[in-house]
Structure 1
């Protein structure tokens, strides 16, 4: 039997990426729909403005109407302008709020999967480090591109249809200039997609490289490797700059193509309308064009390309989002495992010929190992450093691949997160108070319950704010032994029936180790405990010792 981890999947194609972006969009579909309708309403205001302006000019200069007769057209023009301003402001705010909500949901979703063990943090550490950057790249897609895309698909056709009712020839001119423009934009879009992906990859490499070198700064300085590392980071930064310039070049070319066809279409329509009104058109046309109609067509013609101009401005957002989405989808997300019923009593845990395997080194294996921890027993796994003790214990958390079988109460291993307490060799410390760290697994627990049990009195007394003392993620001066005690106290407050302890007495001086070992038998009562240790005194507490 193999471990039920999902095998690394193929690189997602464009269709899969688009489906994923659409799936994420469903987290705030209401906000996106409102933005789309507002975009179409903005188009209605454009048509109203063109109609009002054309009739106002025609009535004023052609029909010699007095100002009092211009109020309907003037009112419509002012209302349309004010409406566009209000819609634009509100739509921009709505778009940003919707995008931030979706991006926040994506981050939380991925982090929840990572914390639940469904993302192999060791294999995907670089991608998880870039999680903020990649998700931030999605913001422009949901805030601007999706609405611009819909407007560019619908509004030009609506405007051309409206123009066709007034001047079919002008509508035909716009269609003739629109077709080659769409073809060129498609070619530029495909080129932009590749360059955007390369740029985001280069930016992510630079970010990971910088973080890695900052972490290793003491080591770099001790070996006098600073100049060489500066050169490496500098080359990565230059690569980002070069790829960014390539993306900008494509954006400038796209903008130039758009402006050329927009200017061309307006110029052709202006020439046609001018020659028609002057009676100098050298060929007959099947329409009657008045000043009001000609002015309406000329006022509306630039707006046919306006939605595509906004789409071109936001097109880079889409390419960046697709590159970011591909990276996020490349995180190996294991399928959801049906949560096991919460264990109420100490379980029986059985390892049956379990051998750990590693995809990057098929020839290396740990095991096979077989043992059974009966309910309430303490099992100690002992072996030299590097023999695989930690790897074998982490299998109970769903981390790693293995052959053989692990059973809990006779059933195949499933999700034990709600019933297991894990204490690693280096218990993590979260930024927050000492009390927050002690009650991490059980916020309703009273941290004072474990202060005496684990000998944390000195730690609490020496801190000025006692349990409210602030700790950062580095531990704020905690010794290795104090971190171990906090990890054990955290496990005790969870009240889980299964404990998995990895070297729980390491980093303790002999007196502190003896004091802690004396306290453990009472804590082990009513629990199944599997621990790893080199300590003979700790292994003496075990009912059985498994040698590796």
Structure 2
């Protein structure tokens, strides 16, 4: 972040320099107008104030463009780095992606909100803090009465802006929450679309999405209402300040003040002060326009900070052969149901052996099987070493679930999830050994066939074979298989069973099943 901090400082300095050119512009304009008002002047006498006006305008445009460009680059870099950082931690297993799915789904919306803060609000905030005071000091040197009038109009303005700002923060938080709910609802319903259509539940789901969209619209309108009120308050006090200064200067120059003059004020000075007056409120006007970005960013930051990130995982030393695995009185609890527990379970897997966990549905077979992938305090040991975040073996395990997940990409991409370094020869060998060759040959694009994340067009047996091929490709000495033949027809089951002995070779295997033909392959069966 040091590079971004330096760039933000540069952007702030550019923004302050750009806004400071208004003083030069006001000076040049006041001298140009008063010289013309005084009578005929030569072009040479008008050259200096005219040049100051032109140069000030050019500098203001150039510095403003440079500041906005720099801040926008910083904002995009911050949002990109944040997304990559959180995504990397999720892929490292340091974030419970399932338990915090809704927060992760809103990652891109929340990072976009931070982008608005860095791109617009930060610059406007610095200008609003420094420029009004700077302009007031310059005006005070010319007319302390005008500076006093401006200062007095700022007091009620600041008070009202503070009240509106607090209201805006609450509404922005509600708006982001409503937007997140709508986003998650849409994502969930799109994923479940085949089920919704199959059961004819479309009208009810349309109403649910419509209600969520109405909530987003209502919260957005409330935020906009506050923004409009803020803008009206700002314009009122800005116009009031300029009007009071204009009235004071006009009556002074006409000699019609209802009280004795308190200072010496000339036309040139009066015009200079009047030209600068709007610049006291101009930075605040820009701040008010960008204030919603701040409120959205604060609400987004709260949500991002709520993402729980576990300590870094320390990988265990590489296994050189099939290991011994011990489940020693392992008990698994559930945070959302404290009364429900699995275990205690105790068994030992000898190096290179096959252990089958069996039991009725709901007995915890799959949960126990997967626990070695992310053990947290349970007494699971590999070669005598307790498995945990400081001794993690997940990257040395080949795991085949009941329904192997697929990613949006080609068939080759999905197979290489087992081993990113797999060569084409290794890929073809795994395809041949798992019987995937006919399924791939039947598709016009072969391994380049593009799949979606639901695996549309892939049968259950083909999906299971893809999972087995990944396991073959993965250089791991531990193999976990979850119900390898569940929901398969007899021919597919027979084909999968024929593949398993080769898959077991050189590995310590734990699998779950209640099928007699699978249990027959095991060296020991653990009943739950």
Q: Structure 1 432/161 Cα, relative in aligned 2: closer, same or farther at 3 Å?
A: same
2:136 and 2:84 map into 1 onto residues whose CA distance is 44
Q: Residue in 1 aligned with 2:457?
A: 477
Is 1:270–1:298's contact at 8 Å kept on the other side of the alignment?
yes
- Distance change >3 Å, CA 542–CA 256, structure 1 → 2: same
State whether structure 2 residue 370 is matched by structure 1 residue 394.
yes
Shift of 1:379: 2.3
Q: Could you tell me which residue of structure 1 aligns to residue 383 of structure 2? A: 409
**Equivalents in 2 of 1:210, 1:537: separation in Å?**
43
Which residue is equivalent to 1:514?
A: 494
The 5 Å alignment of 1:279-358 reads: 279-284=255-260, 287-358=263-334
Give the corresponding residue for 1:16. Answer: none
* Residues 1:103 and 2:79 aligned together: yes
SS in 1 for 2:517: helix
Aligned pair in 2 of structure 1 residues 430, 92: CA closer, same or farther (>3 Å)? same
Q: Is the 8 A contact 1:60 1:67 kept in 2?
A: no
**1:343-382 residue pairs with structure 2 within 5 A?**
343-382=319-358
Q: Does 1:456 align with 2:433?
A: no
- 1:342 and 1:418 in contact (8 A); partners too: no
Matched, 1:207 2:187: no
Q: Is the 8 A contact 1:58 1:292 kept in 2?
A: yes
**1:136-165 Cα distance to aligned partner (Å, 9 max, x none):** 232212211111111111221122222222
Counterpart of 2:470 (choices 470, 490, 504) is 490
Contact 1:379 1:545 in 2 (8 A): yes
Aligned 1:37-186 pairs, distance under 5 A: 37-62=13-38, 64-186=40-162
Q: Report how far residue 287 of structure 1 moved.
A: 4.0
Change (3 A) 1:137 1:344: farther
1:243 and 1:416 map into 2 onto residues whose CA distance is 47
Aligned residue in 1 for 2:405: 428
Query: Unaligned regions of 5+ residues in structure 2, if any?
Result: none
1:85-142 deviation digits (Å, cap 9, x = unpaired): 2233343333333222222222222222222222223222233333332332322122
Over 3 Å counting, the alpha-carbon distance change for 1:302 and 1:547 in structure 2 is same
Contact 2:92 2:313 in 1 (8 A): no
Q: Displacement, 1:461?
A: 0.9
Partner of 1:11: none
* Displacement after TM superposition at 1:207 (Å): 2.6
CA distance in 2, matches of 1:201, 1:324: 9
Looking at structure 2, the residues matched to 457 and 221 of structure 1 have their Cα atoms a distance apart, in angstroms, of: 34
- Partner residue in 2 for 1:544: 524
Conserved? CA contact 2:182–2:213, under 8 Å? yes
Provide the C-alpha distance between the structure 2 equivalents of 1:411 and 1:35, rounded to a whole number of angstroms. 53
- In the superposition, relative to structure 1, how do residues 457 and 218 fare at CA in structure 2: closer, same or farther (>3 Å)? closer
For 1:339 and 1:226, how far apart are their aligned partners in 2? 47
Greater Cα shift, 209-218 or 346-355: 209-218
Give the whole-Å Cα distance in 2 for the aligned partners of 1:256 and 1:34.
32
Aligned to 1:443: 420
Q: Distance in 2 between matches of 1:502 and 1:287?
A: 90
Offset, 1:312: 0.6
The answer for the alignment partner of 2:447 in structure 1 is 467
Check whether the contact 2:20–2:131 (CA below 8 A) recurs between aligned residues: no
CA distance in 2, matches of 1:346, 1:273: 92
Q: Deviations over 1:31-71 (max 9, x none)?
A: 32232122112112222211221222223323743222222
With 122-131 and 313-322 compared, the bigger mean Cα shift is at 122-131
Change in Cα spacing, 1:489 to 1:50, as seen in structure 2 (3 Å) is same
Structure 1 residue 486: Cα displacement: 1.3
Q: Tell which deviates more after alignment, 523-532 or 186-195.
A: 523-532
Q: C-alpha distance in 2, partners of 1:443/1:376? A: 25
Higher relative contact order (CA 8 A, sep 6+): 1
Q: 1:382, 1:492 → 2: CA distance? A: 24
Shift of residue 83, structure 1, vs aligned partner: 2.1
1:250 offset after TM fit, Å?
0.9
Superposed CA offset, 1:162-191 (max 9, x none) = 222222222222222112211111111111
Question: What TM-score, normalized by structure 2, do the two folds share?
Answer: 0.92
Deviations 1:182-225 (A, max 9, x none): 11111111111111111221222223233333444444445444
Q: Distance in 1 between matches of 2:300 and 2:87?
A: 16
Distance 2:324 2:365 in 1: 19
User: Any idea what SS the aligned residue of 1:79 has?
Assistant: helix
Q: Please state whether the residue corresponding to 2:399 is helix, strand or coil.
A: strand
Instruction: Work out the CA distance in 1 between the residues paired with 2:138 and 2:361.
Output: 79
